[in-house]
Chains A and B, each alone.
Chain A
Amino acid sequence: MIQINNVSKWYDKFQVLNNCSTVINKGEVVVICGPSGSGKSTLIKTVNALEDFQQGDIIVNGISLSQKGIDLPKLRSRVGMVFQNFELFPHLNISENLVLAQIKVLKRQKTEALERGLKMLNRVGLSTHKNKFPGQLSGGQQQRVAIARALCMDPIIMLFDEPTSALDPEMVGEVLDVIVSLAEEGMTMMCVTHEMGFAKKVSHRVIFMDHGAIIEDLKSADFFGNNKKISPRATEFLSKIIQH
C-alpha cells in the first residue's frame, strides 16, 4: 500500500533522511521509534507530502509522490494524520471541526457529513461534547477528536506523529486505547511513538531510526523479544527508555 524507496532529504547541507526504504502493507501496524532528531516525524510526514524529499520515491496507493502535478489534496484526504499537538481548529466547535474537510474536500452534504462526524465522535467516546470548542476539552479529549476528524475522511492509512507526547500522563491511556481499537479493526497505521509498551502490544513491525537512517525494520516479536537480533544502538535505546 505504501512503498518508501531510498528516500533522502536535506535541509541545506544537513541530511535529515538517509536512504530510507520500507513497505507498509494493508492492515499492517508499524511503529517508528528512535531518539529525538532521528528523522521519525520527518519520515512520516513525507508520506502525505507535508515534507518533501530530494531523492528516492514514495508510492502511496499506486501514486508516486515524486511525480509533478499530482493531486495532493486528493491524496492527503485519504491519508489520515494525527499530530503531536492535536491541531484542532480552535475557532470552530467540535462538530465544525469534524465536518469542515468532509464538506470542502469530499463534497459531502452537510447532514451526511455531520452524521459521519457524530458517528466517529461517538466511536472515540465524546459524543456529548459536540458543541464545545477545542479549548474547553482536555488534551486527551482533543487528541481523540483529532483522531475522529481524520477517520471522518475514510482514510486508507492513518499516520500518528507522537500522538501522546504532548499529553499529561493520565491521559495517555485513553488515546492509546482508541489507537489500539483501530488496530484491532485492521486499520493500516504508521505510528511514531515512545510508548514502548503500546508498541509491543499493537505493532506488527517496528522501525528503529537513528541519524535519519532506518537501522532496524523488524517484526515486533523480534524487536522486543530476542535482543540479540537488534543492533547495539537499538538495544541501548530500548534499555534507556524501558528503564523507567
Chain B
Amino acid sequence: MNLDFSFFTSAVIKSFIFKGLIFSFQLTAVAMIGGMILGTFLALMRLSNKYYLSLPSSFYVNTLRSIPLVMVILWFYLLIPLILKRPIGAELSAFITFTFFQAAYYSEIMRAGILSVSKRQMAAGQALGLTYRQCMSYVVLPQAFRNMLPLFMTQTIILFQDTSLVYAIGAYDLLKGFEIAGRNFNRPVEMYLIAAFLYFVICFSLSKFTKLIHQKIKIIH
C-alpha cells in the first residue's frame, strides 16, 4: 500500500478541514458551558429534599444517560422541527442536543463534587449569616468544581470526540471535513490517518492542559 500525503496542502486545510474544525470546537465549547450550567442546576435539584425537584431531575439524567448519543441527536433533529413547526437546521439542532445531553453527564459529576464538600462547610457559611444560595455559590460550588475539574475535562474530551456523531444529521464537523477531502482526492486512508492524528493531538493537549490547571487551582487541605 502506498501512502501519498502530497495532496494535503494548506489550500486543502483551508477549504475542507478548517470549517469542520471550527464547528467541532464551537459545538464543544457551547455544550460544555451550557451543559455545565444546566448540569449544576440539575445536580442541585437532584440533591434537594423536595421530591418535585429531585424526581424530575433524576428522571431526566437517568433517561439521557441510558440512550446512545446518536439516537438523541436524531430524535432532537426530527422532533424539534415538529414542536417549533419549522426546520432549524443540522447545526443549531446539534448545539441544542449536545448541550442537553452533556448536562446529564456534567450534572452527575457536579453532584459527586457537591457531595465531596463536607456538610460542615455549609454549616460554617450559614453560621456566618450566609443564605443557602450564598453558601452554595461562594462556598460549596467553587470547591465542588475544583475537586471535580479532572472529571469535567475528561467528560469534555469525550464530548469533543463525540462531536463526530453529528454525521447522523449531516452537519459539517471536523471528521466530515476529512471525509469529504478524502473522497475528493480519492485518498480516504491518508485523510483518516491525519484525522486520527489531529484528534489525538487535540485530546492529548487538552488532558495535559487540564493537569496543569488542576495543579494551579486545586485545594490544599
Mark A residues whose CB is within 8 Å of B: 48, 50, 72-79, 81, 83, 85, 87-91, 100-101, 104-106, 133-136, 149-150, 153
Contact = CB atoms under 8 A, between A and B. Distances in A.
A105 B121 CA distance: 17
A94 B25 CA distance: 38
- A72, A81, A89, A136 pick with most chain B CB within 10 angstroms: A89
- B128, B146, B220 pick with most chain A CB within 10 angstroms: B128
B130 to A, nearest CB: 6
Contact of A90 (B127, B129, B134, B220): B220
Contacts of B138: 89, 100, 104
A91 B120 contact: no
21 contacts: A50-B123, A50-B126, A77-B128, A78-B129, A79-B127, A81-B127, A83-B127, A85-B120, A87-B120, A88-B124, A89-B125, A89-B138, A89-B143, A90-B220, A90-B221, A100-B128, A101-B129, A104-B130, A105-B128, A105-B130, A150-B128
Binding site secondary structure of chain B = helix
Nearest to B220: A135
A101 B220 contact: no
Nearest to A48: B127
B27 to A, nearest CB: 31
A77 B219 contact: no
B128 A149 contact: yes
B220 to A, nearest CB: 3
Interface in B126-146: 126-131, 134, 138-139, 142-143, 146
Contact of B146 (A91, A106, A150): A91
B210 to A, nearest CB: 18
Contact of A76 (B128, B139, B143): B128
Nearest to B147: A91
Contacts of B143: 89-91
B121 A87 contact: yes
B146 A105 contact: no
A75 B131 CA distance: 11
Given A90-B219, A135-B220, A135-B221, A73 B129 contact: yes
Interface in B98-153: 120-121, 123-131, 134, 138-139, 142-143, 146
B121 A74 contact: no
A87 B127 CA distance: 11
A133 B129 contact: no
Given A90-B219, A135-B220, A76 B120 contact: no
B220 A89 contact: no
B134 A104 contact: yes
Nearest to A89: B139
Given A83-B120, A85-B120, A91 B219 contact: yes
Interface string B205-216: 000000000000
B123 A87 contact: yes
A185 B160 CA distance: 61
B127 A76 contact: yes
A180 to B, nearest CB: 22
A88 B128 CA distance: 11
Contacts of A83: 120, 123-124, 127
A78 B128 CA distance: 8
B146 to A, nearest CB: 6
Contacts of B125: 89, 101
Nearest to B219: A90
A76 B221 CA distance: 27
- B123, B129, B134, B143 pick with most chain A CB within 10 angstroms: B129
Contacts of A85: 120
Contacts of B130: 73, 100-101, 104-105
Nearest to A90: B219
A200 B128 CA distance: 29
Nearest to B124: A87
A119 to B, nearest CB: 17
A106 B130 CA distance: 10
A188 B131 CA distance: 25
